[in-house]
Structure 1
Amino acid sequence: MSVMEKDTRSVILATGQAIMGRKGFSGVGLMEILAEAGVPKGSFYHYFKSKDAFGEALLDAYFADYLAAIDAILAKPGLTGAERLMLYFANWRENQSTSDCQGRCLAVKLGAEVADLSEPMRLALKAGTNGIIGRMQIMIEAGAADGSLRVPGQAADLAATLYYQWLGASVMVKILRTHDPFEKALEATRMALGMHAR
C-alpha cells in the first residue's frame, strides 16, 4: 500500500471514529463518513470490503492508539505502580467526559452495540479490552512489588474487575451527565488497592 493510500485509509478511519464516537455504529452511513472525509464512495471499497470490515479496522486502529497511550504511561520513568495506575485513571476520566468525547471513548460508545452485530468487531473489542486489562495488571503487579499498592488475590482478576467497574462508570457518566460515577469508581479503586492510608 502506497503512502497516499495509507493516508486516505487513515483519513477515512479517523473521520469514522469521530462521527461514530458521537452517533454510534448503526446511526452512521458510509456516505456521511466519506463526505466528511472528502473521499469518493468508490474509494471506500478499495480499502474496506464492507461496513463491518471498516468497523473492525476502526476498532483495531482505536485500540492500537489507546494501548500505545498506556504503554507511554508504563514507560514514564520514576513512577510507582500506584502512580502509573492513578495516571491511567486520570486520563480515563479526562477522555470519557460528559461532553462530546469525539471518538476518544469508542469502546464505551460501540461496545454493547456492535458486539451483537458482528463477530469480527466483537473479537476486535475483546482483543483490545484484553490488552488494556493486561497493561493494568502490569501496573498493579508493579505496585505490589514496590509497596505502593496492597493487592489482595490475583493481579489479573483485580485488573479485570477494575476495568469492568470503570467501563460501567463511563456508561453511567453518559446517563447521569455528571462525573460522580467516576468519583465513586476512583474511591472503590483506592479501597480495593489499599490506598486509603496514603
Structure 2
Amino acid sequence: MPVATRSTDTRRIILDTAQRIMARKGYAAVGINEVLAEAGVPKGSFYHYFASKDAFGEAMLKNYFADYLTDMDGVLAHVGQSAAERLMAYWRQWRETQSVEECQGKCLAVKLGAEVADLSESMRLALKEGTSEIVDRIERTIADGLADGSLSVDSEARELAQALYDMWLGASIMAKIHRSPAPLDTATAVTRKLLHL
C-alpha cells in the first residue's frame, strides 16, 4: 500500500474512532490517548496527522458532516417518492438514530454543539458550516415539495427549514435528558402539522 494511502487510512481510522467515542462521552471527557489506543495507532503519531487537539476536533467534525450529508443526500434523493415522502423519511431516520442506546444518539451536532461552541472557534465554525448545509438541504426539499404539490407551508421555505432543524435538534437533546423518544415523537407530529401532512 502506498504511503499516502496508509496515511489517509490511519487519519480516517483516528477520526472515525474519535467520533464513536465522543458521540458517547463528549469532547472534553475524551483524551487523545484514549482515541489512539482504541484506534490501535501509536501515541507519537498523532501530531503527524493533526497540529493540535482543536485541529483534530475540527477535522473530526468536518469528517462527520461529510458522511452525514452524503447519507442525507441519499435519503432525500429517493426516486419515485414525492418531496414530502423524502423529507419525512429523513425525519424518520433522524428519530431512529437518536433513539438508540437509551436515546444517546449518534449525532455529533447534538452531543458536542453546546460543549465545543465556547471552547474552540474552529470547531464552532465547522459545526456552523455543517448544520447550515443540513438546513440548505431541508430548504431545497421543502421547495421541491411546494413545486410537486406534496407540501404546503405557511412561511418561507428557509425560515421553516431552520425552525424544523432547530426543533429536531432540541428534541434530540430532550430525548437524551429524559431517556425517552417522546420528544422526537412530538417533533414528528409538529413537523407533519407545519408541512400540512
TM-score, normalization by structure 2:
0.95
Equivalent position of 1:192 in the other structure: 194
Q: Is the 8 A contact 2:99 2:105 kept in 1?
A: no
Aligned ranges 1:115-134 → 2 under 5 Å: 115-134=117-136
Cα deviation per residue 1:67-102 (whole Å; 9 max; x = unaligned)?
Answer: 001111232111111001100001101111251678
Q: Which runs of 5+ in 1 are unaligned?
A: none
Map of 1:183 onto structure 2: 185
What percent of counterpart residues are identical?
A: 59
The 5 A counterparts of 1:140-159 are: 140-159=142-161
Q: Give 3-state SS (helix, strand or coil) of 1:99's partner.
A: helix
Secondary structure at 1:108 match in 2: helix
Matched-pair contact (CA < 8 Å) for 2:102–2:179: no
Aligned equivalent of 2:37, options 32, 35, 39: 35
Q: State the distance in 1 between where 2:63 and 2:40 align.
A: 20
Does the Cα contact within 8 Å between 1:25 and 1:113 map onto a contact in 2? yes
Residue 58 of structure 2 aligns to which amino acid in structure 1? E
Within the candidate set 26, 29, 34, 2:28 is matched to: 26
Q: CA deviation at 1:150?
A: 0.7
Name the counterpart of 1:172: 174
Do structure 1's residue 69 and structure 2's residue 71 form an aligned pair?
Answer: yes
Please give the secondary structure, in 2, of the residue aligned with 1:150.
Answer: coil
C-alpha deviations, 1:145-196, integer Å up to 9, x for none? 111111212100000000000000000000011111011111111111111x
Q: 121-130 or 74-83: which moved more?
A: 74-83
Q: How does 1:30-109 map to 2 (within 5 A)?
A: 30-99=32-101, 104-109=106-111
Unaligned regions of 5+ residues in structure 2, if any? Answer: none
> Distance between the aligned counterparts of 1:121 and 1:64, measured in 2?
15
Regions of 4+ moved over 4 Å: 100-103
> Considering only aligned residues, what root-mean-square deviation do their CA atoms show, in Å?
1.4
Supply the AA of the counterpart residue of 1:38. G
